[in-house]
Structure 1
Amino acid sequence: MKRLTDLGRALVELFPERHLYVRSGGAMKAFVLTTRKQLVLAGGVAAGALWMGVATAAMLVNLFSASAADREIASLKAQSERHVADRQARLDSALARLNAASGSSSDMAAEIEKRHAALALLLTDLKGSPGAAEALTPAINRALASQDASPTRRVEKVRIGQEHLLDAADTYARGRADRLRMAFRMAGLSPSSFADRTGELGGPLIESKDPRALAAVLDIDENFAARIQRAAREVGDAEALNEAVDDLPIARPTASARQSSGYGVRLDPFTRRPAYHSGLDFSGPHATPIYATGPGVVAFTGRRSGYGNVVEIDHGRGLKTRYAHLSGFNVSPGQRVGVGQRIAAMGSTGRSTGTHLHYEVWVNGRAQNPARFLKAGQYVREIR
Structure 2
Amino acid sequence: MRTRLAIKIHSFLEKRFPERRVFLKSDTDTRFIRLRPETQLIAFGGATLLVAWTIVATAILLMDSIGAGNFREQAKRDQATYQERLNELSRERDARAEEAVAAQQRFNAALTQISAMQTELLASENRRRELETGVEVIQTTLRSTMKQREVARAELKRLHANTEGSAAVQQVAAEVPAQMDFMAAALERTAEERDRIRADAQSALDARAELELEIKLMEERNDQIFRQLEEAMTISLEPLDKMFRSAGMPTDRIIEEVRRGYSGQGGPLTPLSFSTRGEEPSADELRANELLQQMDQLNLYRIAAEQAPFASPVRAAVRFTSGYGYRRDPKTGGKRMHNGSDFAGKHGTDIHATADGVVTHAGWQSGFGKLIKIRHAFGIETYYAHNSQLRVKVGQRVSRGDHIADMGSTGRSTGTHLHYEVHVNGRPVNPMTYIKASRNVF
TM-score (normalizing by structure 2): 0.50
Change (3 A) 1:359 1:257: same
For residues 305-330 of structure 1, give each alpha carbon's deviation from its aligned partner in whole angstroms, at most 9, with x where no partner exists: 21111011111221111000111211
Aligned Cα RMSD in Å?
3.1
Aligned to 2:286: 226
User: Which residue does the alignment assign to 2:440?
Assistant: 379
Query: CA separation of 1:333/1:137 partners in 2, compared to 1, >3 Å: closer, same or farther?
Result: closer
C-alpha separation in 1, matches of 2:216 and 2:278: 21
CA separation of 1:273 and 1:325: change in aligned 2, threshold 3 A: same
Q: How many residues align?
A: 242
User: Which protein, 1 or 2, shows the higher relative CO under an 8 Å CA cutoff with sep ≥ 6?
Assistant: 2
Give the 5 Å matches for 1:79-118: none
2:397 aligned partner: 336
- Residue 221 of structure 1: CA displacement? 5.0
Secondary structure in 2 matching 1:200:
coil
Structure 1 position 380, deviation (Å): 2.4
C-alpha separation in 1, matches of 2:340 and 2:424: 13
**Number of the residue aligned with 1:210:** none
Identify the residue that residue 155 of structure 1 maps to in structure 2: 215
CA apart distance, 1:348: 1.1
1:183 aligns with 2:183: no
Q: Distance in 2 between matches of 1:288 and 1:228?
A: 49
- Residue 89 of structure 2 is matched in structure 1 by 131
Distance 1:264 1:154, change over 3 A: same
- Once the 2 structures are TM-superposed, how far is the Cα of residue 350 of structure 1 from its aligned partner? 1.4
Change (3 A) 1:302 1:137: closer
Once the two structures are superposed, what CA deviation does each residue of 1:34-78 show, in whole Å capped at 9, x if it has no partner?
A: xxxxxxxxxxxxxxxxxxxxxxxxxxxxxxxxxxxxxxxxxxxxx
Aligned position for 1:112? none
In the alignment, what sits opposite 1:274?
Answer: 335
Match of 1:63 in 2: none
User: For each residue in 1:285-322, what CA deviation from the matched residue of structure 2 results, as whole angstroms up to 9, or x when unmatched?
Assistant: 22222111111111001222211110111112211110
Deviations 1:6-26 (A, max 9, x none): xxxxxxxxxxxxxxxxxxxxx
Q: CA-to-partner distance for each residue in 1:213-237, whole Å, 9 max, x for gaps?
A: 7754898852222222222212211
Inter-partner Cα distance in structure 2 for 1:134 and 1:377:
24
Cα distance change on mapping 1:362 and 1:215 into 2, 3 Å: farther
Spell out the pairing of 1:227-306 with structure 2 (5 A cutoff).
227-255=287-315, 256-306=317-367
State the distance in 1 between where 2:277 and 2:298 align: 24
Residue 203 of structure 1 aligns with which residue? 270
Equivalent residue in structure 1 for 2:226, among 166, 171, 188: 166
Q: Kindly tell me: are residues 182 and 353 of structure 1, through their superposed partners in 2, closer, same or farther at Cα, counting changes over 3 Å?
A: same
Could you list the runs of 5+ residues in structure 2 that have no partner in the other structure?
Answer: 1-85, 104-208
Mapped to 1, the partners of 2:339 and 2:95 lie a distance apart of 48
Q: 1 CA distance for matches of 2:242 and 2:276?
A: 36
C-alpha separation between the residues in 1 aligned to 2:347 and 2:294? 48
Work out the CA distance in 1 between the residues paired with 2:387 and 2:303. Answer: 31
Matches within 5 A, 1:314-353: 314-353=375-414
Amino acid across the alignment from 2:237 = A
Query: Alpha-carbon deviations, 1:232-279, whole Å to 9, x = none?
Result: 212211111111111122222112222111111222112323321111
Distance in 2, Cα, partners of 1:133 & 1:153: 31
CA contact (8 A) 1:289 1:344 kept: yes
Q: Residues 268 and 293 of structure 2 are in contact (CA less than 8 Å); yes or no, is this contact kept in structure 1?
A: no
| Inter-partner Cα distance in structure 2 for 1:214 and 1:177 | 27
Amino acid at match of 2:381: K
Query: Contact (CA 8 Å) 1:180, 1:241: kept in 2 or not?
Result: yes
Aligned 1:17-32 pairs, distance under 5 A:
none
CA contact (8 A) 1:174 1:235 kept: no
SS of residue paired to 2:439: helix
For the Cα contact (< 8 Å) 2:271–2:292, is it kept in 1?
A: no
Gaps of 5+ in 1: 1-127, 206-212
Residue number in structure 2 paired with 1:313: 374
Aligned to 1:61: none
Q: In structure 1, how many angstroms separate the alpha carbons of the residues matched to 2:327 and 2:310?
A: 24
Computing the radius of gyration from Cα coordinates, the structure with the larger value is 2
Instruction: Provide the secondary structure at the position in 2 that maps to 1:357.
Output: strand
| Whole-Å separation in 1 of the counterparts to 2:441 and 2:299 | 14
Letter in 1 for 2:369: G
SS of residue in 2 equivalent to 1:324: strand
- One-letter code of the match for 2:238? D
| Counterpart residue type for residue 181 of structure 1 | D
What is the one-letter code of the residue matched to 1:349?
T
Match of 1:39 in 2: none
**Alpha-carbon spacing, 1:266–1:130, altered in 2? closer, same or farther (3 Å):** farther
Tell me, yes or no, if the aligned pair for 2:96 and 2:229 is still in contact at 8 Å: no
**1:158 partner letter:** M
Contact 1:136 1:165 in 2 (8 A): no
Q: Would you say the 8 A contact 2:372–2:383 is kept in 1? A: yes
Identity of matched residues, %: 35
